[in-house]
Structure 1
Amino acid sequence: MKHALSLALAALVLSGCASHKPEDFKGTWINQHAIDVASKGTSLRKALSENGPVLEWRIDVDQQKASLSNGFEAADGHLVADKNDWQVTFDAGQRESLSMDGQELVQAPGKLGGKQVFERSSAPSNTPLGGAFEKALYQGYLGGNWKIVEGPGQGNYAQFRDDGMVTGLPGPDRYALCLAGDCATMSGENDSLWLEREQRGSPWIFKRDGKTLEIFQAVNRAQPNEMPQLAAGERRWVLEKQ
């Protein structure tokens, strides 16, 4: 009798852990683990490739719709319940499986990489798809004060804001980190960002090592009729996070 009771209690506990209401899945979910890894001061490209490629999910259970972003492209899928999981089917027939593990959204291994874990975002509901992840990444990866220890403005402090504004760095007033797409293809294994002022700018190569950030001019090594292949040229700035 005791054995039967123990089994019944165990089954109850397990079913309680696995059961989630549909509304538990609703909202915007970001790949916070990729941000945390990158924020330790490592290569952004490496952190995203090893923990992505999906950076954000937006789930609308009422409309049976799930959208994802990889930082460059977005895709909308049809959401269908499957026991305690949800299946997302895209136009090309590709399927991805989503489930809840505690307070985290888990994407099962599939065509879009291995297991990926997402945390709920508190970004406003009108935030463009991919914007919640980008804002959190900018805060985690480049947030805070950066002292310019070499290059124009030496001795000053630069700040990279989560809205894409940069202050204290002589010249540019806006920036954007390259997450995926053509900019990633052109920069190869290098990390790159876009710096501009008054809507005129250019790509730069950067290297993050702990609290040190180096920014280099981007040199195109491709032939005129080829896709640009950007490499690090002359170093323009060295910044240290305070």
Structure 2
Amino acid sequence: MRKALAFSLLALFLGGCASDPADRDISGTWINQAAIDAAAKGGPLREALQGYGPNLEWDINTRAGQARYTNGFENVEGKLLGEEDGTWKVDFYGSSASELKRDGNQLSQAATENEPQQVFDRAQLQVPEGAPIGASFERALYAAYLGGTWNIASGPGQGATVQFQPDGQVSGLPGADRYALCLAGDCASMSGGNDNIWLQQNGQGNTWIFARNGKTLEIFQTVNAALADEMPSFTPGNRQWVLEKQ
């Protein structure tokens, strides 16, 4: 009798664990790992982001009732209305709403009329305190897409070793100490269907167009086809560098 009672209590305890509210809590930072994995295969960056986007990162605080996301261009803040049967609803101040649901270490964003279903993973890389939303996705993307060691096969500094760091620092590339990949927004519109990267040194820099094909990264000068009073329209100019991943 005592054994039967013990097993009953154990089953009740385990059942309570299975429905633990902590398992449904969605607080924290979630990044679009699927888009990062697609980009890491070594193809066009924007193609990967558009194929698995548009949203790149969620930052959620259930206690404060706050939820926000970024698509690389806009940072959108909403109000977390609460959880029902494991689904959390986010209201964006009357303009729209999103539904989020946690499945283990993944967060699922339900499809809407304007956006497809998306899946996010918990961010693993640490970012500095106070970093803007999107920083976790950006660091993970930079590490996956440009991480490792590159060799300058052609162009200024030929033969040198180049390393792109997750925090936006770059070493070994002549004339540059920092970089930023264009993810969305005006920088994407200005370069048409081309991927582009911002390279700077001592705070001064320019936009460059690049093409990634497996372990080869080509970087081109930009030609602005727009008039002086128009939004810039960048097209590839002369090829500046060819980098090969080691």
Normalising to structure 1: TM-score of the pair? 0.89
Aligned to 1:120: 122
How many residues end up aligned between the 2 structures? 230
For residue 20 of structure 1, report the CA deviation from its aligned partner: 5.2
Pair 1:67-2:68 in alignment: yes
Letter in 1 for 2:75: A
8 Å Cα contact 2:25-2:62 kept in structure 1:
no
For residue 111 of structure 1, report the CA deviation from its aligned partner: 4.7
Q: Structure 1: where are the runs of 5+ without partners?
A: 1-14
Aligned to 1:229: 233
Q: Structure 2: where are the runs of 5+ without partners?
A: 1-15
CA–CA separation in structure 1 for the residues paired with 2:192 and 2:41: 22
CA–CA separation in structure 2 for the residues paired with 1:115 and 1:203: 33
For residue 92 of structure 1, report the CA deviation from its aligned partner: 4.5
8 Å Cα contact 1:146-1:241 kept in structure 2:
yes
Aligned counterparts, 1:162-173, within 5 A: 162-173=166-177
Alignment partner of 2:156: what SS? coil
Aligned to 1:151: 155
CA–CA separation in structure 1 for the residues paired with 2:20 and 2:112: 23
Q: What is the percent sequence identity of the aligned residues? A: 51
8 Å Cα contact 1:89-1:95 kept in structure 2:
yes
Alignment partner of 1:137: what SS? helix
8 Å Cα contact 1:67-1:75 kept in structure 2:
yes
Aligned to 2:46: 45
Alignment partner of 2:25: what SS? helix
Match of 1:100 among 79, 96, 102: 102
8 Å Cα contact 1:23-1:61 kept in structure 2:
no
For residue 17 of structure 1, report the CA deviation from its aligned partner: 7.6
CA–CA separation in structure 2 for the residues paired with 1:117 and 1:85: 14
CA–CA separation in structure 2 for the residues paired with 1:141 and 1:133: 12
For residue 191 of structure 1, report the CA deviation from its aligned partner: 0.2
Match of 1:134 among 129, 134, 138: 138
